[in-house]
C-alpha cells in the first residue's frame, strides 16, 4: 500500500479501534495490504502507550504542588462551611451540591403555622368585636356581656380573651408573635392593632421564601435537564458515554417518595411491551425498601433518581449488607428494560431483562459477579460468571 487511501485508512483505523461495521471488518480482513496497514496503526498505538520517562524529582514537585493546592482548598472550604453553616442553600451553592430543602421546608411550615395561628386569632378577634358591637347596639350592660357565653370554645380562647383584654399596642409584641419558640410552646401571640401589618410582612416574607425555593428547585431541575434523560438505549449502559460531572445526586428520600408511584403507574413503551411490563414489575419491584426501585420515563429527573438509588446501594454494599435494587429503564422508544442488582454480602446477582424492548434484542441475562465499580450511570460489574446462583431464585429466569 504505497499511497494510502484516506477512505481505506479510516476504515482500517476504525477496524483497529473495534469500531468498524461487519462489512468493513470483512473488507479489511480480506485484503492483506489493509491488514498490514492495521498492524502499522496498532504499532503506533502501542508505541504511544509506552509511558514517557518521568524524572522523579519532577514528579514529586508536581505532586507536592497539587497537594498544596488541595490543602489550600480544604482550608478555604472549611472556612466557607463555618461562615455559611446557617445557610444550607449557600453551602450547597458553594459545593455545587443540590440544596437539601427539607430543613427550610420545616422552617417554612413552622412559620406558616404561626401565620395561620395569628390569622385565626385575628378572625376570632374580629368576630369578637363584631359580636361586641352587636351587643353594644342592643345596649347590654357590662355585666350582661360578661355573663354571655364565650364566642368560641377553641383552645385559643383563653389566649384570645387575654389578648383582647390586654389590647396592647406595644410594637415589641410583634416580635413575640414571630417567635417560633413561642408558637411551638403554645404561647399565643398578643394581638395588636399592628398585627395585620405584621401579618402582611410575614406573608410577603413567605412569598419571598416560596419564590426563592421555587427558584432553587427550578435551578435544580434545569441543572438536571441539562443532562440527557437517562435512557436504556444510551451507550453508557453498555459502556461509556460520560456525563460531565456537576449534577449531584438527589437526596435519597426524594427518590423513595417517587419510587412507589413510579412502580404503581409505570407506563409507556410499545404496545407489545405493556403486558410484559406489568408482569415484570411483579418480579422486578424489589420488596427491599432500603434503596427504592426506580422507573424512568425519559424525563429530566430520571438521572437524579437513579443516582440516588445507586448511592444508597453503594452505601449498603460497602457496609456489607445484603441489598437488592431494581431499575426499569425506559429505552428511547419508551420500552422498559429491567435491571436487578442483588448483593448477598459477598457477590452480586445481575439480571438484565430486555424482553419487553420491541426495538432491541430481547433476552434475559443472569450472572453472578464479584466486583463492582461505579460506572457511567449504571454500575459496572466484573469477574462475572453466567452460571446460575442458587441463592437467587430470579436466576432461573436466565
Partner 1 sequence: MVIDDDQRLVQAAQAGDRSSLDALLRRHYDRISSICRRIAGNAADGDDATQEALLAIVRGLDNFDGRSKFSTWSYRVATNACLDELRRRKRRPIPASNDDQAGWLAHNEADDMPSFDERLAQRDALQRALDQLPIEFRAPVLLRDQAGLDYAEIAQTLDIPPGTVRSRIARGRSKLAELVIAGNQHMIDERQNPLP
Chain residues in the site for partner 1 (CB under 8 A)? 4, 6, 9-14, 16-17, 19, 40-41, 43-45, 47-49, 51-52, 54, 58-59, 62-63, 65-67, 69-71, 73-74, 95-96, 235, 239-249, 307, 314, 317-318, 343, 345-348, 370-377
Identity of the residue, 228 or 290, whose beta carbon is nearer to partner 1 in the bound complex: 228
Which residue lies nearer to partner 1 by CB, 65 or 385?
65
DSSP-based three-state secondary structure for 243: coil
CB of 254 to partner 1, least distance (A): 17
Q: Closest approach of Cβ 189 to partner 1, in Å?
A: 44
Burial 57-84 (b: 16+ CB within 10 A, else e): eeeeeeeeeeeeeeeeeeeeeeeeeeeb
- For partner 1, give the closer residue by CB, 113 or 385: 385
Shortest Cβ 121–partner 1 spacing (Å): 48
To the nearest whole angstrom, how small is the minimum distance from the Cβ of residue 48 to partner 1?
Answer: 4
Q: How far is the CB of 152 from partner 1 (least distance, A)?
A: 56
- Considering beta carbons, is residue 12 or 266 the nearer one to partner 1? 12
Q: Which is nearer to partner 1, 245 or 390 (CB)?
A: 245
Give me 73's grid cell: 482548598
C-alpha span between 89 and 276 (Å, rounded): 44
Residue 50 CA: distances (Å) to CA of 14, 47, 352: 21, 5, 38
The nearest distance, CB 104 to partner 1, in angstroms, is 23
According to DSSP, residue 350 is labeled: E
Which of 121/304 has CB closer to partner 1?
A: 304
Distances (CA, A) of 347 to 45, 279, 367: 36, 27, 10
Interior CA angle at 392 toward 391 and 394, to 5°? 155
Q: How far is the CB of 307 from partner 1 (least distance, A)?
A: 8
Which of 78, 100, 102 is closest to 89 using CA atoms?
Answer: 100
377: left (phi over 0), alpha (psi -120 to 50) or beta: left
Q: How far apart are CA 282 and CA 162, in angstroms?
A: 60
Amino acid at each position: 500500500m504505497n499511497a494510502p487511501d484516506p477512505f481505506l485508512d479510516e476504515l482500517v483505523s476504525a477496524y483497529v479501534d473495534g469500531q468498524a461495521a461487519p462489512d468493513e471488518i470483512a473488507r479489511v480482513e480480506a485484503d492483506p495490504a489493509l491488514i498490514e496497514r492495521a498492524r502499522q496503526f496498532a504499532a503506533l498505538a502501542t508505541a504511544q502507550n509506552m509511558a514517557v520517562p518521568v524524572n522523579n524529582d519532577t514528579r514529586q514537585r508536581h505532586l507536592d504542588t497539587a497537594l498544596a493546592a488541595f490543602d489550600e482548598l480544604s482550608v478555604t472550604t472549611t472556612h466557607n462551611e463555618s461562615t455559611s453553616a446557617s445557610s444550607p442553600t449557600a453551602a450547597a451553592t458553594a459545593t455545587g451540591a443540590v440544596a437539601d430543602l427539607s430543613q427550610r421546608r420545616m422552617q417554612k411550615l413552622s412559620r406558616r403555622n404561626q401565620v395561620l395561628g395569628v390569622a385565626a386569632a385575628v378572625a376570632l378577634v374580629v368576630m369578637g368585636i363584631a359580636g361586641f358591637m352587636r351587643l353594644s347596639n342592643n345596649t347590654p350592660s357590662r355585666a350582661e356581656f360578661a355573663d354571655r357565653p364565650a364566642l368560641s370554645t377553641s383552645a385559643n380562647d383563653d389566649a384570645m380573651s387575654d389578648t383582647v383584654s390586654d389590647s396592647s399596642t406595644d410594637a415589641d409584641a410583634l416580635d413575640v408573635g414571630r417567635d417560633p419558640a413561642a408558637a411551638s410552646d403554645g404561647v399565643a401571640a398578643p394581638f395588636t392593632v399592628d398585627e395585620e401589618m405584621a401579618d402582611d410582612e410575614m406573608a410577603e416574607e413567605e412569598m419571598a421564601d416560596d419564590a426563592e425555593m421555587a427558584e432553587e428547585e427550578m435551578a435544580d431541575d434545569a441543572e438536571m435537564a441539562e443532562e440527557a434523560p437517562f435512557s436504556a438505549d444510551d451507550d453508557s449502559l453498555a459502556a461509556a458515554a460520560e456525563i460531565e460531572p456537576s449534577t449531584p445526586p438527589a437526596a435519597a428520600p426524594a427518590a423513595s417518595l417517587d419510587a412507589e408511584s413510579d412502580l404503581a403507574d409505570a407506563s409507556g413503551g410499545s404496545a407489545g411491551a405493556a403486558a410484559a411490563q406489568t408482569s415484570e414489575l411483579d418480579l422486578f419491584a424489589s420488596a427491599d425498601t432500603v434503596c427504592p426501585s426506580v422507573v424512568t420515563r425519559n424525563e429530566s429527573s430520571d438521572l437524579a433518581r437513579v443516582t440516588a438509588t445507586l448511592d444508597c446501594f453503594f452505601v449498603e454494599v460497602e457496609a456489607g449488607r445484603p441489598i437488592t435494587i431494581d431499575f426499569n429503564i425506559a429505552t428511547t422508544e419508551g420500552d422498559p428494560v429491567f435491571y436487578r442488582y442483588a448483593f448477598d454480602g459477598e457477590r452480586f446477582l445481575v439480571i438484565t431483562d430486555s424482553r419487553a424492548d420491541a426495538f432491541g434484542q430481547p433476552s434475559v441475562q443472569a450472572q453472578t459477579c464479584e466486583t463492582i465499580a461505579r460506572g457511567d450511570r449504571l454500575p459496572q460489574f466484573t469477574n462475572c460468571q453466567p452460571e446460575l446462583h442458587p441463592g437467587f431464585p430470579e436466576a432461573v429466569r436466565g
